[in-house]
Structure 1
Amino acid sequence: MSEPSGPRARKPFLYVVVCAAGVARDVDILLAAAQDAGWDVGVVATPQGLGFLDTAAVETRTGHPIRSAWRSPGGPRPFPDPDAIVVAPATFNTVNKWAAGIADTLALGILCEAYGQGVPTAVLPAVNSFLAQHPAYVESLARLRGMGVRISGSTPHTPTSGDTADFPWEEALELLAPGRSARS
């Protein structure tokens, strides 16, 4: 990870990976909480997740462009290396691909590399109760926990509810707290 330079150390940098789930529209709750806690924040959206965000509002809030695609070779790095990562909301597809080591998007590539870099990573799944029962998903969560990923224990929502009021945004930073371990 990058070392701070100059007389002032930089703030720790948090990547927030946003996937395509209805609750993504409320990601500002997490961004504000992270900034209040002293983080500099950059958003990485999955290609489908990008459509769920108010790009201008997110970029104004963070002061950084939303990343969704790889940069050109030799191009400038828009973010410093992450000090931590939160995946919220994390979809069924992203959880399963990540656990399988599939890095076919920038977001998944970052998540797969984070394991090798030892970057603390927290996940707030947004998966309905039917998908949450799928054996691949259960195995993927177990694999991610085995990799040290800290996963929210919140209950999956009902498939038809569309209710996003109870999404546990505040738990993301709690999961990253020092000494906190992965839980079910």
Structure 2
Amino acid sequence: MSRVLYLIACAAGPTQFIDTGVRRAQAAGWDTCLILTPSAARWWETRLGELEALAGHGVRSQYKLPGESDSLPKADAMLVAPLSSTSLNKWGAGIADTLAIGLVSEGVHMGVPVAAMPYFNRAQGAQPAVARSIAALRDQGVRYLDGPDGYDPHPPKQGDPQAFPWGRGLAALAST
């Protein structure tokens, strides 16, 4: 039986190609559940059925209502990729106002391995809150993937979302 990965994507450029991320995770042996922030879900709203068919699970972007059963199997690991600077800073401050951030905020404290790989530009990364948020996540045990093991912020207006290194995020969880 495959291990379950929650692939959690924020509204950042590579989410246009989240189907590539799902395929890469599946090729690495993960049963992949896709969770999108509400803003990221808007990017795919006309094609959510395509993502659900690919993943083999419903794509979630909202908290379930009281009394609704959970459609997601229990996660063995979670990968937040791409992580936007907005979601990074909310997560680092403990603001879990979306399902995407709520799952990882809780999961890391329940012993689920959590990795996060950013995608934002250097101007966004220069905000003082970014360094504080990265430190807060690392202090909680999140594997924040930057530098050669992940993704470093790109110059403004020079990102290449199609070249996002999905494999680096998956490699960080390979031994979990």
Q: Which residue of 1 aligns with 2:145?
A: 152
Aligned with residue 168 of structure 1, among 165, 168, 172: 165
RCO (CA 8 Å, sep 6+): is it higher in 1 or 2? Answer: 2
Does residue 1:105 correspond to 2:102, yes or no?
no
Secondary structure of the 1:136 match is helix
Aligned with residue 92 of structure 1, among 82, 85, 91: 85
Q: Partners of 1:165 and 1:65 in 2: how far apart?
A: 24
Q: Which letter does structure 1 place at the counterpart of 2:20?
A: I
Q: Partners of 1:115 and 1:165 in 2: how far apart?
A: 28
Secondary structure of the 2:162 match is coil
Does residue 1:26 correspond to 2:17, yes or no?
yes
Q: Which residue of 2 aligns with 1:71?
A: 64
Does residue 1:41 correspond to 2:32, yes or no?
yes
Q: Partners of 2:159 and 2:29 in 1: how far apart?
A: 32
Q: Equivalent pairs: percent with the same residue?
A: 39
The runs of 5 or more residues in structure 1 that have no matched partner are 1-9, 180-184
TM-score by length of structure 2 reads 0.90
Higher helix share: 2
Report Cα offsets for 1:26-54 as digits up to 9, x if no partner.
11222112111221111111110112233
Cα 1:165–1:71, aligned 2, differ >3 Å: closer, same or farther? closer
CA contact under 8 A between 1:151 and 1:175: conserved in structure 2? Answer: no
Secondary structure of the 1:15 match is strand
Q: Partners of 1:155 and 1:108 in 2: how far apart?
A: 21
Secondary structure of the 1:95 match is helix
Q: Partners of 1:92 and 1:149 in 2: how far apart?
A: 16
Secondary structure of the 2:81 match is strand
CA contact under 8 A between 1:88 and 1:123: conserved in structure 2? Answer: yes
CA contact under 8 A between 2:17 and 2:162: conserved in structure 1? Answer: no
Q: Partners of 2:99 and 2:31 in 1: how far apart?
A: 20
Segment drifting more, 148-157 vs 118-127: 148-157
CA contact under 8 A between 2:119 and 2:152: conserved in structure 1? Answer: no
Q: Which residue of 1 aligns with 2:126?
A: 133
Give 4+ residue runs of structure 1 displaced > 4 Å after superposition: none
CA contact under 8 A between 1:22 and 1:52: conserved in structure 2? Answer: no
Secondary structure of the 1:17 match is strand
Deviation at residue 163 of structure 1 after TM alignment = 2.3
What is the number of residues matched between the two proteins?
170
Deviation at residue 172 of structure 1 after TM alignment = 1.0
